[in-house]
Amino acid sequence: MSLGPGTVMRAALRTLQQAGELLESQEVARQVFGYATIADVPPSRAASVRRALRTLVRRGEIEELGRDWEGGRRKWGTHAEADKKRARTAQFHAFMARREAEQLAKQASKVEVR
């Protein structure tokens, strides 16, 4: 029977809640264990943080945003931060769609003139 969230899990959750942004698991590990840089984090410590983050996702306390976000690395964050990121992404896609539609309309008008 589980005794509840462990030390690493509690520290990872606290780190994400205090960050106010989406973080990579390596950055969470760096902050949890107090290393100076991401490169200093041993693979075993990084793995323990990734396990804790996956458990927090299963419990519904945080969200994992996958590898398709900035930099190709997996991002983790609170629900509020994930919602903000999704809203910014939706705004960007809407902007790109409007821009493409304007360019197509401009090209179409040039073809009609000739």
* CA 3 vs CA 6, 7, 15, 21, 113: distances in Å: 8, 11, 21, 29, 74
- Determine, yes or no, domain membership for 101: yes
Q: What is the domain range of residue 91? A: 7-113
Summarised one tens digit per residue, pLDDT across range 6-50 is 899 999 999 999 998 999 999 999 999 999 999 999 999 999 999
Beta strands in 1-114 (DSSP E): 23-24, 63-64, 75-77
- Determine, yes or no, domain membership for 65: yes
CATH classification at residue 85: 1.10.10.10
Give the separation between CA 15 and CA 17, rounded to whole angstroms: 6
Summarised one tens digit per residue, pLDDT across range 76-87 is 999 999 899 889
- pTM for the whole thing? 0.76
Q: Spell 46-68 as b/e; 16+ CB within 10 A means b.
A: bebbbebbebbeeeebbbbbeee
Counted domains in the chain = 1
